[in-house]
Amino acid sequence: MKQQNATEIEHYLHSTEAQQKLYKRSLIVVIMSQIFGGAGLAAGITVGALLAKDMLGSASYAGLPTALFTLGSALAAFLVGRISQRFGRRYGLSFGFITGGIGALAVVLAATIDNVLLLFLALFVYGAGTSTNLQARYAGTDLASEKQRATAISIALVSTTLGAVAGPNLVTPMGKFAMTLGIPALAGPFILAAAAYLIAGLIFLIYLRPDPFLVARAIATEKDKQRLDKVNDGHQVLQSKLNRVGVVVGALVLILSHAVMVGIMTMTPVQMQNHGAQLSAVGLVIGLHIAAMYLPSLVTGILVDKIGRTFMVIASGVTLATAGVVAALAPGGSLFWLAFALILLGLGWNFGLISGTAIIIDSTDMKTRAKTQGTVDVWVALSGTAGGLLSGLIVAYSSYAILGFVGMYLALLLIPLMIWVRVKQKRS
């Protein structure tokens, strides 16, 4: 196997044309997989909180499903990162998606037999698909140049839109389909999630070869061998420190933007249902939210590459803060204003995700990139766990409006963070 991989990779080491062909081919595979991955992601977002509320009989724990599958995604992010670093993206991403598909099937079983403990375990495993869906964005960047990275990330994300937007709008049909099988309606979307995640995993396993990460790592190793050492040790130490700062800053951007997004998003379906909204209306609002999360990606990627990471991080903070204010002030029964808040929420998250990811890629090399990306995504997932769990408690013991204002304050922290980075860069 290793000999076969080495032979496949050798062809790409000295041919820029072959590298570009593989780069484009890898992007096509990522796009195919992400269409299905997006559909799997949408199920937990749309009905996870409602299913828990129905089975537990209390809105106080409505944030628990999001907390569980984001906690599961944290473990999966770690494992997918380590597997990808050692064996390549193909095995890491296929493992994550297939595991998520198994978890979705277990959610359906738990709802059918009304077993809360199995539901919790299943949601934890289902989270593997969530983190893998995010980590797939890195697969398109392995062979991209520095000026192509944000655009490559955006291509991976925008392809998620088709499945992610279709998923919530299939809630009602999948619910009816589930009921014909004797399964609770709210478990129906998880049937779709199981099929979608399993197909996404098989696409990576079958078609992502030769592995772009392994090729990029071999190219980097070859360049290191040929490169003359023209820099002094002091420059290397300074560059190493700047890279560590870059990873921390990129991670903080991802963590803050993700926590704000997950917290407000999680409790919006519950807020709508409490004010008499139908499940189809909830699906529409979440569908618009997910469209805003992914659809602007192509434009966002170009902006991040052209006008810079710093500007787009600040734009993320301002947009997320505005979303928090609109959500806080929106009447509970207003479909328009809640939809508008969640569209802004998705857009702000999109700005933060692409700019933060680009900062991390800029600050790593192929020797540690996949492992570092996986570790960062662990903290991102944990921030989602905290956001999902605390959002339910905040709403239960105060109000949805307070949750919106908390999100606003957290989002605004991104602005002083980037000011600090600029000052530190000038001093260095």
CA–chain centroid gap for 374, Å, is: 12
Predicted model pTM: 0.77
pLDDT for 264 equals 93
Burial class (CB in 10 A: 0-12, 13-18, 19+), 244: exposed
Helices (H), 57-187: 64-87, 89-113, 116-139, 149-169, 171-180
Cβ(259)–Cβ(322) under 8 Å?
no
Q: Given this structure, which CATH class describes domain 8-220+240-423?
A: mainly alpha
pLDDT for 68 equals 79
Token pair belonging to 131: 């983190």
pLDDT for 44 equals 65
* E strand segments, 290-341: none
Please report the sign of the dihedral spanned by the C-alpha atoms of residue 153, residue 154, residue 155, residue 157.
positive
Say whether 143 sits in a helix, a strand or coil.
coil
pLDDT for 43 equals 67
pLDDT for 266 equals 85
Report the C-alpha gap between 247 and 356 in whole angstroms. Answer: 9
Report the C-alpha gap between 109 and 280 in whole angstroms. Answer: 24
Report the C-alpha gap between 344 and 223 in whole angstroms. Answer: 43
pLDDT for 72 equals 86
Token pair belonging to 181: 């099988």
* Radius of gyration for the alpha carbons in the chain, expressed in angstroms and rounded: 21
Token pair belonging to 402: 């307070």
Report the C-alpha gap between 157 and 14 in whole angstroms. Answer: 30
Report the C-alpha gap between 425 and 99 in whole angstroms. Answer: 41
Token pair belonging to 106: 């277990």
pLDDT for 231 equals 52
pLDDT for 157 equals 80
In tens digits, what is the pLDDT along the chain, a chain of 428 residues?
A: 454 455 667 777 777 788 888 888 988 999 899 888 888 877 666 677 777 777 776 655 666 776 777 788 888 889 998 999 989 999 999 999 999 999 999 989 988 888 888 888 998 899 898 889 888 888 888 887 777 778 888 888 888 777 776 766 777 788 888 888 888 888 888 888 899 999 999 999 999 988 889 888 888 877 766 665 555 555 554 455 447 888 999 999 999 999 999 999 988 888 888 777 777 788 788 888 988 988 888 899 889 988 889 999 999 999 999 999 999 998 877 889 999 999 999 999 999 999 999 999 888 888 888 888 888 988 988 888 788 778 888 988 889 999 999 999 999 999 999 998 888 777 76
